[in-house]
Amino acid sequence: MSATQTTNHFDVLIVGAGISGVGAAWHLKHQQPDKSYLVLEALEDFGGTWLTHKYPGIRSDSDLYTFGYRFKPWTGAPIATAEEILRYMGEVIEEDDLARHIRYGHRIGKASWSSADNLWTIEATRADTGETVTFTAGFLWMCQGYYRQGEGYTPEWEGMADFKGQIIHPQTWPEDLDYKNKKVLVIGSGATAATVVPAIAADCAHVTLLQRSPTYFIPGRNVNELADVLRELDIDPAWTHEIVRRKLLHDQDLFTRRSFEEAETVKNELLEGVRMCLGGDEETLKKHFTPTYRPWRQRIAFVPDGDLFQGVREGKASVVTDHIDRFTEKGILLKSGQELEADIIVTATGFNLNVLGDIDFVIDGKPLDFGKTVTYRGMMFTGVPNMVWVFGYFRASWTLRADLLGDFVCRLLAHMDEKGARRVEVALRPEDKDMPLLDWIDSENFNPGYLQRGMHLLPRRGDKPEWQHSQDYWMEKDVLPKVDLDAPEFVYDGKAATAKVERALEKA
């Protein structure tokens, strides 16, 4: 290898400086202050999702009281722009002096585990020089997100090459894209499409939202009345943050449970919200905003101030629900025979799943086939020692789980120190021998396209809570802090005999 080699060792290596990675650094600093750690980030700055996405109107679709960290009060409107989220993360980095622990422009390409040394060796490529830099670490904290940052998912449609205009994916939106007085067609029905359409509607000649099928939306004012009252009463911001979080989480829990238990009622309530925004336009509601699935099988986007529906009502935007037959020179021909003309086509069609940061994992010389591992609560994996993976919630804010896993990792590291252990892994127990192994997530429960497309790359799930990736924050907030780290599924230093068994034997 021609690249210069330098070696640095850290107790913990965090992959990624998005909201999860910065949170992980905060937890280590506060809960495990004696551990040395490094955050490696491929991009030139922190923020991940909020740094890469630059399409007009880019904003959160969940409230920042719960999407924000539990330890850093949010003081703005509930739905925030990318810029506001980046400012908030920047404050965490500055207030906690985390910057000196982050190295930007380092893309990790390979991570190799050695059981002989109980060490990870991590190879990263520097963006500025192209050098390969090598690090070693006792523990890997994977905060790499879930999709490929560089390129979004665009299906292959017939005739795409014939189209004379521009085709843009929101993930790689050119900052100088001129859509003024142009006809824009946005393909998609998720949060991104719902954000882009109202953001550009005023400037375009016309914007059309083309969706295959309708989605649920929650329109509402971008305010939190409880937070506003508490602020008016001059309540400490940390208290306000905690109280508002609890109230929102309580309400979200109720909503999620109701969407399973009384799906039809919840559906009608959601539709009523949209109906009001559309000014009672029943035809549009029925045709374009009435999904056929029950609420919560896909993420439900909050539409601040109903701006999407406002655009439709005012005629600046229109919605077409149909299937694409092919692209043409002028636009898109639909299965119904209608042709939609466009100067720019925006494909808000989702992500490419990125499993483990596109890093080549090698365990004791053998390439890791992640799809053949079994997940322990969606964070650890059989056969992969000293590694935790952060994957947040779909139905609640991602960061709620990043915080819970922050506590878990710090407790696990402390437990290893107490035991004098250098390696921890999870392993199926004798009673799990005949456990059926299922897809990572039940598509009846939640089925976004990027997960369906990438299911074969993801770990397997069992039929017991330990071996499942629960999407239930309200259960995990009680269960994760109490997980018995000496339970038989945790194996330390390669010894399957657990402290529990040893203790029982001692007593006998």
Ligand X SMILES: Cc1cc2nc3c(=O)[nH]c(=O)nc-3n(C[C@H](O)[C@H](O)[C@H](O)COP(=O)(O)OP(=O)(O)OC[C@H]3O[C@@H](n4cnc5c(N)ncnc54)[C@H](O)[C@@H]3O)c2cc1C
Residue 492 · residue 421 · CB < 8 Å: yes
As measured in angstroms, the least distance from the Cβ of 471 to ligand X is 12
As measured in angstroms, the least distance from the Cβ of 243 to ligand X is 20
Please identify, using beta-carbon distances, which residue of 357 and 459 lies nearer to ligand X: 357
Please identify, using beta-carbon distances, which residue of 13 and 491 lies nearer to ligand X: 13
The H or E element that residue 188 is part of is none
How far, in Å, are 22, 65, 98, 337, 407 from residue 94 at the CA level? 11, 20, 7, 56, 21
The three-class DSSP label of residue 351 is coil
As measured in angstroms, the least distance from the Cβ of 91 to ligand X is 16
Please identify, using beta-carbon distances, which residue of 40 and 342 lies nearer to ligand X: 40
| CA distance linking residue 460 with residue 447, whole number of Å | 16
The H or E element that residue 258 is part of is helix 237-261
The three-class DSSP label of residue 353 is strand
As measured in angstroms, the least distance from the Cβ of 145 to ligand X is 2
Please identify, using beta-carbon distances, which residue of 340 and 400 lies nearer to ligand X: 400
As measured in angstroms, the least distance from the Cβ of 437 to ligand X is 26
As measured in angstroms, the least distance from the Cβ of 236 to ligand X is 26
Please identify, using beta-carbon distances, which residue of 84 and 281 lies nearer to ligand X: 84
Residue 375 · residue 459 · CB < 8 Å: yes
Please identify, using beta-carbon distances, which residue of 173 and 490 lies nearer to ligand X: 173
**Which region, left, alpha or beta, applies to residue 358 given φ > 0 means left and ψ of -120 to 50 means alpha?**
left
As measured in angstroms, the least distance from the Cβ of 474 to ligand X is 15
Please identify, using beta-carbon distances, which residue of 24 and 271 lies nearer to ligand X: 24
| CA distance linking residue 85 with residue 92, whole number of Å | 11
Q: Where do we find the tokens 């008016």? A: 232
How far, in Å, are 43, 427, 428, 497 from residue 433 at the CA level? 43, 11, 7, 17
**Residues at the interface with ligand X (CB under 6 A):** 15-21, 40-43, 48-49, 53, 60-62, 67, 107-108, 143-145, 149, 192, 357-359, 390, 392, 397-398
Cα 420 to chain centroid distance, Å, stands at: 34
**Residue 214, exposed/middle/buried by CB under 10 A (0-12, 13-18, 19+)?**
buried
As measured in angstroms, the least distance from the Cβ of 231 to ligand X is 22
Please give the structure tokens belonging to residue 497. Answer: 């005999």
Task: Cite the beta strand spans of 33-84 per DSSP E.
Answer: 37-40
| CA distance linking residue 470 with residue 166, whole number of Å | 41
Please identify, using beta-carbon distances, which residue of 273 and 406 lies nearer to ligand X: 406
Please identify, using beta-carbon distances, which residue of 43 and 312 lies nearer to ligand X: 43
As measured in angstroms, the least distance from the Cβ of 198 to ligand X is 15
